[in-house]
Amino acid sequence: MRSWRLASRAVAVYRATQTTGSALRPLPSTVLPSQIQNQDGVCRPMSTALLMHRDKPGNSVKDDWDFSPENTERVKEILSNYPKNYKQSASIPLLDLAQQQHGGWIPVQAMNRIAQIIGVAPIRVYEVATFYSMFNRQPVGKYHLMVCGTTPCMLCGSREIEDALLKHLGVTRGEVTKDGLFSVGEMECMGCCVNAPMIVVADYSKGSEGYSYNYYEDLTPKRVVELVQELRQGKTPKWGTQNPKRINCGPEGGNTTLLTTPKPPVCRDLDAC
């Protein structure tokens, strides 16, 4: 009985994919592996990019890459936070710094340079960079917009937020707009579930000095498009909740509970004893 149910479900899944034609459609031979990720169903959407380096202009093992003079100072500062024999602890902060310096993504030579600085084999840095989805190994826009797709945000409409963004910008997920300003990515829970749905705007337009990483919460499809328009004009919209009736993560329209000073627990209430 059970196996019959399974089989019928598999058939149903197969039929569904046949009609939408996304999952099992053979890819044209001209599709590059880096494009495969953008087709839902063929590759898992959770993987932000191919786990393999392909040489291409701007990201080649033959390029030269180094930290800028200012950032070299910051590298020293970062390294000084860790014991000398555990320099590899600095790999995440250094990758972050490299990403800020390089306009939001890390070319392979930057990873090699970091491996050299912290004295490990390059593969150990590749492992870290591929593990964390916040490290981009493909170019992104100057403003990288990451939509939280975890359950609370999804229930509150993150799919619509993302659709509005993609439609407004005319791109697919992971693609950069023609003017190089915007790209849209997905990320996991950022801990703002009380203000769901939310996006993060990583601002790489001002280099590592003016880098900012702002949360925009309580979004609507309309508001998120307005945000993009403000960013395009060079403004920095006020971060945090976008619902004018809320203060930070407080409830809409003012508090509804805890209206008086709460009573201390009985054990602390010395007078009652």
The footprint of another protein (CB under 8 A) covers 3, 6, 9-10, 13, 23, 33, 41, 44, 46-47, 51-53, 61, 108, 120-124, 126-127, 130-133
Which of 121/273 has CB closer to another protein? 121
Q: How far is the CB of 186 from another protein (least distance, A)?
A: 14
Beta pairing class for 212-217 and 143-148: unpaired
Q: Which residues touch 264 (CB under 8 Å, ≥6 apart)?
A: none
Which of 17/243 has CB closer to another protein? 17
Query: How far, in Å, CA of 164 to CA of 184, rounded?
Result: 11
Query: How far, in Å, CA of 98 to CA of 106, rounded?
Result: 6
Query: How far, in Å, CA of 209 to CA of 202, rounded?
Result: 13
Degrees, nearest 5: CA angle 34-38-44: 95
Q: How far is the CB of 241 from another protein (least distance, A)?
A: 31
Which of 181/187 has CB closer to another protein? 187
DSSP state letters, 95-157? HHHHHHHTTS---HHHHHHHHHHHTS-HHHHHHHHHH-TTS-SS---SEEEEEE-SHHHHHTT
Tokens of 169: 């910008």
Which of 109/241 has CB closer to another protein? 109
Q: How far is the CB of 113 from another protein (least distance, A)?
A: 14
Which of 61/247 has CB closer to another protein? 61
Q: How far is the CB of 9 from another protein (least distance, A)?
A: 6
Query: How far, in Å, CA of 178 to CA of 180, rounded?
Result: 5
Q: How far is the CB of 21 from another protein (least distance, A)?
A: 15
Which of 91/242 has CB closer to another protein? 91
Q: How far is the CB of 128 from another protein (least distance, A)?
A: 10
Q: In this structure, what are the phi and psi dihedrals at residue 270, rounded to the nearest 5 degrees? A: -65, -30
